[in-house]
Amino acid sequence: MMIDPIELTRELIRFNTINPPGNETPCAEHIGGILERAGFSIAYHPMEDGRANLIARIGGVAGKKPLCMSGHTDVVPLGAAPWSVAPFAADIADGKIFGRGSTDMKGGVAAIVAAAVELAPRLEGTPGLVLVITAGEERGCQGANFLVQQPGVLGEAGALLVAEPTSNRPLNGHKGVLWIEGRATGVTAHGSTPEHGVNAVYKAARVIGRLEGLKLEDGRVLKGGLPTLNVGWFHGGMNINSIPDEAKFGLDIRMVPGLTDTEVLAQLAEIGGKDVAFTRQGYSEPVFTEPSDPWIASVHEVMAEITGERHAPGIATYFTDAAALTKAYGNPPTIILGPGEAEMAHQTDEFCYIRRIEEATAGFTEIAKRWCGV
């Protein structure tokens, strides 16, 4: 049984899985049907009505855990800008497939499925494969976190490949994310007599000014590049003719290995002083596997042979389902590798290059063959 990854990508794009609301079940069932016909055992794990996660397994042998390949089926909203192509028609032009989710990440999911189906007849008596196809990744890895919370559902994996968009460059993990809220308080007064109040917006603004250009790494060389900080939102005051007695803002900090949330919060507390108090709103650790790991080195070798490009080790700036899955599987070597273009993710007129999907399919097939020894 053979699957054309290009046609499968187009089929998957045509499922409208914009999150919210998601409605990933029909797409997951389409994938599950293909895998079941190829000999995989299939299990659906809905986290809500219409929002199924899919786990598919084949093979299995004592002594070596299976290879896990993972992707998500939900996509982000279309945005306010008009599209020049129909976002769910999966049109092909100039060597590209257009459509919401083409790059992030239905092209990657199609490549996983095509590779798995091709190898399926040869995987009995081998370590085998487990495919984890999630819902709800785009809003905080909801599906992956849901699966982690279900005892025994994920099983085991000896290595993890997540097919997020990397232009087929193997990345040894991804940055973590730390979300923090800053809050300044003041004293309200009439807008015509500001001397009678304490303006919380001014307090917050002074601290935000000190955050711009802050080097969280403090001169250290850390694995995976540099951490980043962005002020993502700001709210202050209730009406124009009053002195605001509260101002809040949100920080998005992308973390790298070697930098802890405790350390960052301590730096922020020093900068905020008496003006701004900082509280942690959410945290996901970075994922990183050393380049010296034999499986990681093998993946780099495979993709260099297929693409003709050899890249230095790096990590993705965005976070992925690996944040949940890698830890749940006991921290096996993890690679982020997929055919999409990272700069096209979430963009108007999103597309994925056809050749990248073909390269990814060939790469995933070879990676799985080597893992399973076939």
CB 60 within 8 A of CB 127: yes
Quote the CA–CA distance of 3 and 8 in Å, as a whole number: 7
Catalytic residue, candidates 24, 74, 118, 341: 74
Catalytic residue, candidates 11, 138, 164, 245: 138
Burial class (CB in 10 A: 0-12, 13-18, 19+), 158: middle
Question: What SS3 state is found at 325?
Answer: helix
Quote the CA–CA distance of 229 and 147 in Å, as a whole number: 30
Active site residue 341: no
The tokens of 337 are what? 């590798």
Question: Which residues have CB under 8 Å from 33's CB, separation 6+?
Answer: none
Which 8-state DSSP code applies to residue 95? T
Only one residue has tokens 């005051």, namely 237
Tally Cβ neighbours within 10 Å of residue 327: 14
Active site residue 343: no
C-alpha distance from residue 211 to each of 178, 225, 269 (Å): 15, 19, 11
Quote the CA–CA distance of 255 and 173 in Å, as a whole number: 12
Burial class (CB in 10 A: 0-12, 13-18, 19+), 292: exposed
E-strand stretches of the chain: 41-48, 51-58, 67-72, 92-93, 96-98, 129-134, 159-162, 173-174, 176-185, 228-236, 246-255, 277-284, 287-288, 334-336, 351-353
Quote the CA–CA distance of 22 and 270 in Å, as a whole number: 41
Only one residue has tokens 């979430």, namely 346
- Helix, strand, coil shares of the chain, percent, nearest 5, are 35, 25, 40
Nearest residue to 21 via CA among 110, 146, 142, 123: 142
**Active site positions, annotated:** 74, 138
